[in-house]
Chains A and B, each alone.
Chain A
Amino acid sequence: MTSLIDIIRDNWLLLLIGQFPFGPLGGIAATLILSVCGILLAFPVSILLALARISPRRWLRWPVTGLIYVTRGVPLLLIILWTYFLLPVLIGQTISGFTTMLCTLVLYEGCYLSEVVRAGIQALPRGQTEASRALGHSYYVRMRHVILPQALYNMLPSMLSQFISTIQDTTLGYVINVQELTFAANQINNQILTKPFQVFFILAVTYFAVCFGLSSLAHHVERRIAHRRKGGTRRAVAPAAAVSIPAGIVSASSPEKAP
């Protein structure tokens, strides 16, 4: 127990920001920056991929579907190695491990998020698209003002849990020597050598605290959204009751209204 406290007291700065003023930013700060930037950049990518995936145009749908299947079928580690090797060849200059990891995360999380967005769009009742079309909206207006706002709102909890996975995925940067939390812990372990259990225990507890906090937040958001959607349906059903049509007929003739 005392050795745990000793390790934290001696190395808390390394765990927090790495060797920052004298070297690249590392530690938990780098982990968080990497995952926040990764998910923020992956978000627009995922919307574009999702729209392409459900597009009626085959030349758009097939390549994106292929890309998503490849990304889902191959370990993240292999994708990191691909980026690490291919990206400097493509752009013609060396890039840092941090940038490599960021690019990988944008591609990988973008593909996973796009499946979330697609599910969100397809879960909306068809009536939304039809009504928007009947009002004469263009594709852009329909997506921008009708479909996406609803779909993305309903998908908030899934996006939060994707963010948690992103934090966990940044650990793989360790393999290409990205200076983040796992890397810092390994540095400490190599310095001390005699207390590997304590060092990795601290590492596990740190990740647990961050990710558990965020997943509790995700649960909270999920409950609030479920609550709001329930309230929304109740208001929508009220006028039907006012004209005294038996509830059974209403729900049988318009199954899409059922929550």
Chain B
Amino acid sequence: MHAFDLMTVLQNPEFRGMITHGVLMTLIVAAGSWLLAMGLALVLLTIRLTPSRIAQSGVAIYVAYHRNVPTLVQLMLWYFGISNLLPDALQEFLSDHDGEAIFAVIALGLCQAAFFSEDLRSGLRSIPNGQSEAARALGHSYVGSMRYVILPQAIRNAIPALVNHTVSLFKNSSLAMAIGVTELTHMIREVESRSFLTFEAYTVATVLYLAMSLLLMGTGAVLARHYRIGGRRLS
């Protein structure tokens, strides 16, 4: 065993550049798939609220698939499988423009949309029926009662679950390494294989991941506190 030599990893401009690139890529993949997931989750939620039975069970199947198939398998299916079914021109375009990252964003985003839509739905279901009845009795339209009465409470109730799933989405961005996205875990292994400083390289990655996760969790706690309804206990 050699001495703990963190400075070699941190001060070498080559390694530092690689780590910075990795962090950036992780943030891009995580943020991109978060946006995709949230947008899609709102669409899924809206579909689920419509009275159509077929549309509802379609969403239920979507959610069941994405919750029960491992995220890594979904990534592989997109990157190795579905990419292969696309027209050749599109395949070439994708391989010229960071196709791995695009497929990672698509796969992680579609997967996480299922979780987000369930979080939002259970937030909605936690609001007792009396709330919407009272809003309607006061003369609010359906949209008005949603906008001013139901959603503000439902989103507050959904915040803790949304934050948890945001953290797990962030951590899942490391799986993109398996399809060759040059995010943090990928770059750390690269640093490790060039410097042979395994312990130091992994320590750097662990500290970076932990800092970003704790930042997300902390932001979530601050959000939940900020939007708390006065006098109500934080759950």
CB distance from A115 to the nearest CB of B (A): 11
Which residues on B are within 8 Å of A, measured CB to CB? 1, 64-65, 67-74, 76-77, 80-82, 84-85, 167, 171-175, 177-178, 185, 188-189, 198-199, 202, 205-206, 209-210, 213-214, 217
Prevailing SS type, chain B contact patch = helix
| Cβ contacts A to B, 18 pairs, < 8 Å | A69-B214, A74-B210, A75-B209, A76-B171, A81-B185, A81-B202, A167-B70, A174-B72, A175-B177, A182-B76, A197-B81, A199-B80, A200-B73, A204-B74, A204-B77, A208-B64, A208-B65, A211-B67
| Residues on the A chain within 8 Å of B80, using CB | 189, 196-197, 199-200
Q: Are A199 and B81 in contact (CB under 8 A)?
A: yes
New A-B contacts (10) at CB < 8 Å, excluding given A77-B177, A204-B74: A69-B210, A72-B213, A73-B209, A78-B185, A82-B206, A89-B1, A196-B84, A204-B65, A207-B69, A207-B73
**Which among A70, A164, A215 is the interface contact of B206 at CB below 8 angstroms?**
A70
Q: Which of A70, A77, A196 has the most CB of B within 10 A?
A: A77
Contact with B along A185-212 (1 / 0, CB 8 A): 1100100000011111101100110011
Instruction: Judge whether B76 and A200 touch: CB under 8 Å.
Output: yes
Q: Whole-angstrom distance between the alpha carbons of A168 and B177 in the complex?
A: 17
Check A197/B85 contact, CB under 8 A, given A85-B198, A182-B73, A207-B73.
Answer: yes
Q: Which residues of A in the span 59-83 have a Cβ within 8 Å of any Cβ on B?
A: 69-70, 72-78, 81-82
A203 to B72, CA, bound (A): 11
Interface residues of A, dominant DSSP: helix
Residue of B nearest to A76 (CB): B171
Is the CB of A172 closer than 8 A to any CB of chain B? yes
Are the CB atoms of A77 and B77 closer together than 8 Å? no
The docked-state distance in angstroms from the alpha carbon of A89 to that of B2 is 12
Partner of A78, one of B70, B72, B84, B206: B206
Determine whether the beta carbon of B81 is less than 8 Å from that of A78: no
Q: Which residues of A come within 8 Å of B, CB atoms?
A: 69-70, 72-78, 81-82, 85-86, 89, 164, 167-169, 171-172, 174-175, 182, 185-186, 189, 196-201, 203-204, 207-208, 211-212, 215
Q: How far apart sit A77 and B181, CA to CA, in the bound complex (Å)?
A: 14
In the bound complex, residues from chain B placing their C-beta under 8 Å from that of A73 are 167, 171, 209-210, 213-214, 217
CA distance A186 to B172 in the complex (A): 20
Please state if B84 and A207 are interface contacts (CB–CB under 8 Å): no
Contacts of B69 in A (CB 8 A): 168, 204, 207-208, 211
